[in-house]
Chains A and B, each alone.
Chain A
Amino acid sequence: MSVNLRPVGYLTLSICALSSAAMADRGDQGKLSLLYWQAPTLLNPYLASAPKDSEPASLVLEPLARYDENGIMLPWLAEAIPTLENGGIDPDMGSITWTLKQGIKWSDGSDFTAEDVVFTADYCMSADSGCQMTAKFTDVSQVEALDAHTVRISFAKPKPYPYGPFVGLEVPVLQANQFADCIGPDAVNCSAENLSPIGTGPYRITEFKPGDVVSYDINPYYRDATKPGFASVVVKGGGDALGAARAVLETGEFDYAWNLQLDPEVLTKMKAANKGQVVSSFGTAVERLQVNLTNPATDLYDARSTRDGGAHPFLADPRVTKALSLAIDRTALVQIAYGEAGRPTCDVLAAPAIYTSGANDDCLTQDLDRARALLDEAGWTDSDGDGIRDKDGHSMALLYQTSVNPVRQTTQDLLKAWWTEIGVETELRAIAPAVFFGGDQSSPDTFQKFYADLEMFTNFFPGSDPEPYLNNWTCAAIPTPENGWAGMNVPRYCDADYDALIAKLGNTVDLEQRIDISKELNNMLMQAGALIPLVHRGEVSAHATSLQGVRMNVWDSELWNIADWTRAK
């Protein structure tokens, strides 16, 4: 007997060894250190919408469904994604019903139920709560628990795309018990809760010093007994992108660094140390030039850059903006300024791939002669011989502003050089980001006031439905002195046909039709010359070579699958 047992014993041992290599046990991977150079200050995504806060919170708080690295929705705390086919969405689009997974527990051991979901909706929708995510709950009329594991969200009007609430990292489920006293105006005063929320995720917060460091250990009640791999996680904040990249790629002090918008050559040089690798993922972010279709002349005073002040002396002519666009060598721009973090694009709706129009791709190759011909055709010639085109005594000189950022200043320099070649004079201005994006009503330098001819920044939309994004360019979204310069229609584009098509998109359910309408809307914007897209921007992060399982995700939290991360032995 004893002779026979031995080989069996060996066999069992070797199977164990094999399985542990393939699928690690919970917590046997040691410690993981992440570097978020913009330090987290609040771990409640409903009150702090910046990725620097919502991503560290995503280790703890989870939504019903989230997006994978390809932008496809995955059920997370829900059993399945509700659709028309499986009956989860009401046939008249008036409601969506989520079925929650059974047996999920909060990290304090209590059960996760439909009541928590209902509470979270009330929490965000109650008046004066300061909730940053109310846009996700647009048109929601009622959220109710049908039983302990079923939630129905009803909408005030038919909602073709009902995946706003509880999908993605910004709208996770909060524990009703913990936040019970934080409804309404009290939300912001609940510092203990906001700094250390209880969640269902793989980790729980052990210590949080706002603006500095978050420490986590494993949530003992996490639903998968073999995960997460790392026993403890530290998210360290502070410093800058350059230092963060160095800490992962050159010195190896950290395992992961987030948001590394750096000169490609600088990153390449760091990668040579072989300590880590750079990962990028392309979402919907597009760096674009916003064209001021209205006149920003100083002598118009209060009517500056409003539709009351009249059309721009030359940028309102689509031929001129087309020429400016054709003069740009986007491939060279990407190579020099963006590297792996960018791709040339001629569409402002550059992702998801099914929505990409491609009808404007002739701007991808630089064509200076065609650009010159277009300007000639529009009547702008160099009549006084100073190298700058003019017409009716008005010289073709542009004021081109953006925020202070080395990549953007490089872009400014390059574009200025190319436009000089077609006879357009450019004056550059760089504004401190806190002022440019600050929205201060008294400052003349905000991107919404747009007291310039062109300005450049990036915009994107979360998730994969472009409707709210395309809504940005309706007449109603124009920033004006009357509405306190709110609204994202920075080019002051206003076209009744566009608004009509947007209304149609809001009532269209069929995906194919939605795609066609979205492409058409994109093309209208491009052909009117309201925007000049430059670069489809990716998010860039770096991780240590030894770190495995990173699936860089721009649609959701970059740390969305942190439970699967392991360390190569």
Chain B
Amino acid sequence: MTDLAVPQATAAQPRRNGFWSRFRRHKGAVIGGTLLGLIMLAVLLGPTLWPYTAGQINLTDRNLGASLSHPMGTDHLGRDLFASVLKGGRVTVLVGLVAMMLSLLIGTAVGVVAGMVRWLDAPLMRLTDLFLALPVLPLLLVTIMLWRDSLRSVFGAEAGIFLLIVTMIGLTSWMQTARILRAEILALKEREFVTAATALGLRPAGIIRRHILPNVMGLIVVSATLGLANAIVTESALSFLGLGFPPDHPTWGRLLFDGTDYLTLTPARALWPGVLITLTVLSANYLGEGLRDAFDPRGTIKRK
């Protein structure tokens, strides 16, 4: 009772120290976080630093193996695979990040409202069920067909399809976040410090900002890392189906799809994009797990 009454400002300092030491104890999370950081740095800076341009056709250097100048080899048109992977990673990671943020935003909003506003709880949860029941890939195919042309004429080919994919992934992957947040908030709402805040006359918006959100921050961050992984996998699946971005805009999924026909000739073409998708998703998952443990000193989330 007494530690709960300690004002938020003074509680923050020791808590953060504990957070870092707990996080560092989780080896997988540290490695995952570092790797994810490195991958993001590489795809951010790589295309500008690397001498070859993605998509540059060079008919004399076709189907080369790995060498110093082409660390991942070249494809059947002599394009440097490393350059394509760096450029493709930029799109893939960007799709992952933006879609994740969108789904987080929707998920948090729905989760918090459902948890806090009693009469909205049931309708919002039924809406969540509805979205959970939607088959994502067919839905994506239909929307791509319906809105691709109009978005293309407004934003251009690449930006148009980017917006479409990001929006659709975001709109169809917020449900887990919403559900978990709602459950947590329902429990938090009954706690003494919330009752005390209500008794002191704090408005609901203030309660959410001061007491609810800081307490579910850990959950939100965990959802974020998982959402990132999910968005990358969905985008890869779309590209793997030959949909999504135009064929000459490489993404990891697209590179993997193109590479499968050449598995015996140049296995590197399918291997590297596949390895990178796996590494990114795995790193994000480990990071999420580490963050979850770190945010939750008493392991309440784990027990759930």
Contacts and interface: CB of A to CB of B under 8 A. Distances in A.
A269 B266 CA distance: 11
B211 interface: no
Contact of B265 (A265, A409, A431, A445): A265
Contacts of A332: 59
Interface stretch (B162-170, B238-246, B292-300): B238-246
Contact of A432 (B77, B157, B242): B242
Nearest to B144: A445
B245 to A, nearest CB: 10
A417 B258 CA distance: 18
Given A427-B157, A430-B242, A266 B262 contact: yes
A409 B247 contact: yes
Contacts, number: 64
A451 B76 CA distance: 30
Contacts of B248: 412-413, 416, 428
From B59, B152, B248, name the one whose CB has the most chain A CB atoms within 10 angstroms: B248
Interface in A406-432: 406, 409-410, 412-414, 416-417, 427-432
Interface in B23-49: none
A417 B265 contact: no
Given A336-B62, A416-B248, A430-B247, A263 B262 contact: yes
A266 B261 contact: yes
A242 B265 CA distance: 12
A298 B150 contact: yes
A417 B57 contact: yes
A432 B76 contact: no
B57 to A, nearest CB: 5
A427 B158 CA distance: 10
**Chain B interface mostly helix, strand, loop or mixed?**
loop
B77 A443 contact: no
B165 to A, nearest CB: 15
B153 interface: yes
B196 to A, nearest CB: 59
A501 interface: no
A21 interface: no
B234 to A, nearest CB: 17
B242 A404 contact: yes
Given A298-B153, A428-B248, A265 B76 contact: yes
Interface of A: 242, 262-263, 265-266, 269-270, 298-299, 332, 336, 404, 406, 409-410, 412-414, 416-417, 427-432, 443-445, 451
State the 7 A-B residue pairs at the shortest beta-carbon distance, nearest first. Answer: A404-B242, A430-B247, A417-B57, A406-B261, A298-B153, A428-B248, A427-B157
28 contacts: A262-B261, A263-B76, A263-B261, A263-B265, A269-B264, A298-B149, A298-B150, A298-B152, A298-B153, A332-B59, A336-B59, A336-B76, A336-B77, A406-B258, A406-B261, A410-B76, A412-B247, A413-B55, A414-B57, A414-B77, A416-B248, A428-B246, A428-B247, A429-B247, A430-B242, A430-B246, A432-B241, A445-B145
